[in-house]
């Protein structure tokens, strides 16, 4: 059985994976196919074969990418082993014993507030249309919503007009569209964003930000906005990190609440940009001053 078939026909539907997760798994599976020189099958799920693939991935990309591939490939492998699936020779699959590969923890980097302002001002200059909506209005309102809500791009893109209250200046992001799908998230918005949205309210079931192009082009267009604004591109998540970091800097604990994280450790590890959020006294502040006067 092909791994791609196992994933698309069983694993993804049973795990109810979102499109973003499906895309990530498919990328890992395609790279495994390329490494093998043929479509990956259950027969290829051996410790040595997978370990060699991960070592090659680490050499050609980085450890973080290889570690992500490992997590996804082993999740599919363990599923097949639990289901007592067999290789083509009739032997039952063993559970994986592939060496642990830990991704290095990186310092979170966000846009600054000046960066976000530059991005929005640049976006308002667009003159085309997206799904019949002026592109400048579409992009500027999307970016401002990401900044003010601190929500992920997927949830914002799935927002419908029935979830927007421009008079009360509120937006509700439904649990079904959010990462963990556990609860709705209600956020207040500024008079500016409410004004931008009130000029184009449509039917309740219509998307606020419909995208009528290839989904991958959304990130490509965002990269173009950053380039034109002369801002270092940090994706959509860079805006979420910025909002969370500035909220935390203004009020300790507010960052976790804005991000809707279950633990402050998650916020600290992956979201708080140390350039924005004070991390306490630095070493130069704590250590005694050195006498660096040249000897006479």
Q: What distances in angstroms separate CA 118 from CA 27, 136, 222, one per listed residue? A: 33, 13, 13
Q: What is the pLDDT of residue 283?
A: 83
pLDDT for the residue 148: 97
CATH assignment of the domain containing 263: 1.10.443.10
In terms of domains, do 150 and 242 share one? yes
pLDDT tens string 56-110: 999 999 999 999 999 999 999 999 999 999 988 888 999 999 999 888 888 999 9
Domain that holds residue 31: 3-82
Number of domains in the chain: 2
Same structural domain, 162 and 40:
no
Task: Give me the residues of the chain with pLDDT under 50, please.
Answer: none
* Residue 49, in any domain of the structure: yes
Domain annotation covers residue 296? no
Q: 41 — phi, psi (to 5°)? A: -120, 175
- Residue 283 is assigned to a structural domain of this protein: no
266 and 120 within one domain: yes
Query: Any residues with CB less than 8 A from the CB of 74 and at least 6 apart, and which?
Result: 50, 96, 98
In a domain, 21, yes or no: yes
In terms of domains, do 117 and 53 share one?
Answer: no
Write down the pLDDT at residue 149. 96
pLDDT for 199: 82
Q: Tell me what pLDDT residue 278 has.
A: 85
Looking at the fold, whether 125 and 236 belong to one and the same domain comes out as: yes
Cα distance between residue 255 and residue 250, in whole Å: 9
User: Residue 217: inside a domain, yes or no?
Assistant: yes
Structural tokens at position 46: 């051996």
- Does the CA dihedral 278-284-288-289 come out positive or negative? negative
pLDDT value of residue 291: 87
């Amino acid at each position: 059985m092909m791994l791609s078939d196992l994933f698309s026909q069983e694993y993804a539907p049973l795990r109810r994976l979102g499109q973003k997760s499906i895309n990530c798994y498919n990328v890992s599976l395609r790279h495994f196919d390329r490494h093998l020189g043929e479509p990956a099958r259950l027969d290829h799920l051996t410790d040595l074969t997978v370990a060699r693939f991960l070592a090659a991935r680490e050499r050609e990309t980085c450890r973080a990418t290889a570690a992500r591939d490992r997590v996804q490939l082993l999740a599919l492998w363990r599923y097949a082993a639990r289901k007592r699936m067999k290789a083509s020779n009739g032997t039952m699959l063993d559970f994986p014993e592939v060496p642990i590969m830990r991704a290095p923890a990186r310092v979170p980097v966000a846009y600054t507030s000046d960066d976000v302002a530059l991005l929005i001002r640049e976006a308002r200059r667009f003159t085309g249309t997206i799904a019949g909506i002026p592109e400048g209005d579409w992009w500027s309102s999307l970016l401002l919503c990401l900044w003010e809500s601190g929500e992920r791009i997927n949830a914002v893109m799935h927002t419908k007009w029935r979830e927007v209250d421009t008079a009360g200046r509120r937006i509700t992001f439904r649990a079904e569209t959010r990462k963990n799908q556990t609860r709705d998230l209600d956020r207040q918005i500024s008079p500016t964003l409410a004004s931008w949205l009130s000029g184009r309210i449509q039917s309740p079931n219509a998307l606020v930000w419909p995208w009528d192009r290839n989904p991958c082009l959304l990130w490509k267009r965002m990269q173009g906005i950053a380039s034109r604004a002369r801002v270092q591109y940090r994706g959509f998540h860079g805006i979420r990190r910025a909002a969370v970091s500035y909220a935390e800097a203004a009020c300790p604990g507010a960052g976790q609440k804005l991000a809707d994280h279950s633990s402050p450790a998650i916020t600290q590890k992956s979201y708080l940009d140390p350039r924005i959020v004070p991390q306490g006294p630095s070493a130069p502040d704590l250590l005694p001053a050195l006498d660096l006067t040249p000897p006479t």
